[in-house]
């Protein structure tokens, strides 16, 4: 391709992204198309980091349940594990911020976010570990699984939710990237693919799960995860309609 053609292509891509900047994603997805490449990269890295943090804390809860049930360690907790997960998230966010170009509203939204997500997941832990005679205690809701079969079902259900979150986050990242370039992406079809994978695993998990974590409960966990992530887009892809980023939210 001639150099003049490359220049024309580059200008066309710039014009397309500039025209798209600040445009609402639309549908059930909050947020706006980022105004610049650095802003796009920053928002993508932050949302990916959040999905990984939720997965990490989910693994901590699994380790706690295993220690209480299998090792009969009634003093086991997950605080050290959660601190490591939050530390990894903090380093990922710092790395995303380092090159510059991160919108002020994204920087503001991540302040204290690791602790907030830990609190959120500790509070919702009872939706997975929903039976048992011995509460985990501390800041963790839920109870030690009644037996190894239920633990296996609960462990797999927890991981299934976390993997769904990672998959949907990838759909959002792809949508933002394509929209920034002026194109269109069927984000709903992408999410539907994520949900089909979730449902396939759910059907394998149900026979090993307690009565409080059957199909209806696992479907609700999936629906809540999708709705939460769609709404959270407005926090991290937070351009105003004019294309300028807000200083805070």
In which band, very low, low, confident or very high, does the pLDDT at 244 lie, cut at 50, 70 and 90?
A: very low
Q: What was the pLDDT predicted at 20? A: 62
What is the tens place of the pLDDT at every residue in 150-175? 999 999 999 999 999 999 999 999 99
Taking each helix axis as running N to C, give the angle between helix 3-20 and helix 148-180, from 0 to 180 degrees, rounded to the nearest 10.
120
The phi and psi torsions of 179 (rounded to 5 degrees) equal: -65, -35
Q: How far is the first Cα of the chain from the last one, in angstroms, to the nearest whole number?
A: 45
pLDDT in tens, 62-116: 999 999 999 999 999 999 999 999 999 999 999 999 878 899 999 999 999 999 9
Q: What angle do CA 42, 48, 51 make, to 5 degrees?
A: 145
Residue found under tokens 């009565």: 211
And the tokens for 83?
A: 């601190």
- C-alpha 43/C-alpha 50 separation (Å) is 11
The better pLDDT of the pair 99, 40 is held by 40
Q: Is 121 exposed, middle or buried (0-12, 13-18, 19+ CB in 10 A)?
A: buried
- The pLDDT value given to residue 230: 98
Q: How far is CA 240 from the centre of its chain?
A: 23
pLDDT for the residue 221: 98
Helix (H) or strand (E) holding 114: helix 113-124
DSSP 8-state secondary structure symbol assigned to residue 207: G
Mean pLDDT, residues 240-247 taken together: 48
Q: DSSP letters along 126-173, please?
A: GGTS---SSEEETTEEEE--SSHHHHHHHHHHHHHHHHHHHHHHHHHH
Number of Cβ atoms within 10 Å of the Cβ of 168: 25
Question: 65, 229, 67: which is closest to 157 by C-alpha?
Answer: 65
Residue extents of the structural domains in the chain: 25-236
Q: Are strands 135-137 and 29-32 parallel, antiparallel or unpaired?
A: unpaired
Structure tokens at 42: 């920053």
Q: Which residue has the tokens 């909050």?
A: 30
Token digits for 186? 């069927």
Provide CB contacts within 8 A for 118, sequence distance 6+: 57, 82, 86
| CA gap 108, 115 in Å, rounded | 14
Digit-coded pLDDT (tens) for 129-151: 999 999 999 999 999 999 999 99
């Amino acid at each position: 391709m001639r150099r003049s053609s490359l220049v024309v292509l580059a200008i066309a891509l710039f014009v397309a992204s500039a025209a798209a900047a600040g445009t609402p994603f639309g549908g059930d997805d909050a947020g706006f198309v980022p105004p610049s490449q650095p802003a796009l990269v920053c928002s993508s890295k932050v949302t990916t980091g959040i999905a990984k943090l939720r997965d990490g804390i989910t693994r901590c809860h699994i380790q706690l349940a295993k220690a209480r049930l299998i090792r009969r360690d009634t003093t086991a907790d997950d605080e050290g594990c959660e601190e490591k997960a939050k530390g990894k998230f903090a380093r990922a966010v710092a790395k995303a911020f380092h090159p510059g170009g991160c919108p002020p509203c994204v920087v503001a939204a991540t302040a204290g976010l690791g602790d907030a997500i830990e609190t959120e997941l500790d509070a919702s832990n009872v939706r997975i570990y929903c039976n048992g005679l011995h509460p985990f205690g501390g800041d963790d809701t839920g109870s030690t699984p009644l037996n190894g079969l239920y633990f296996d079902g609960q462990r797999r259900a927890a991981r299934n939710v976390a993997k769904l979150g990672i998959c949907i986050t990838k759909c959002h990242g792809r949508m933002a990237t394509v929209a920034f370039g002026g194109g269109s992406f069927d984000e709903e079809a992408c999410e539907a693919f994520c949900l089909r994978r979730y449902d396939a695993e759910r059907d394998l998990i149900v026979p090993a799960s307690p009565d409080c974590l059957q199909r209806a409960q696992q479907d609700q966990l999936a629906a809540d995860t999708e709705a939460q992530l769609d709404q959270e887009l407005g926090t991290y892809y937070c351009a105003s309609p004019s294309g300028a980023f807000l200083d805070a939210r």
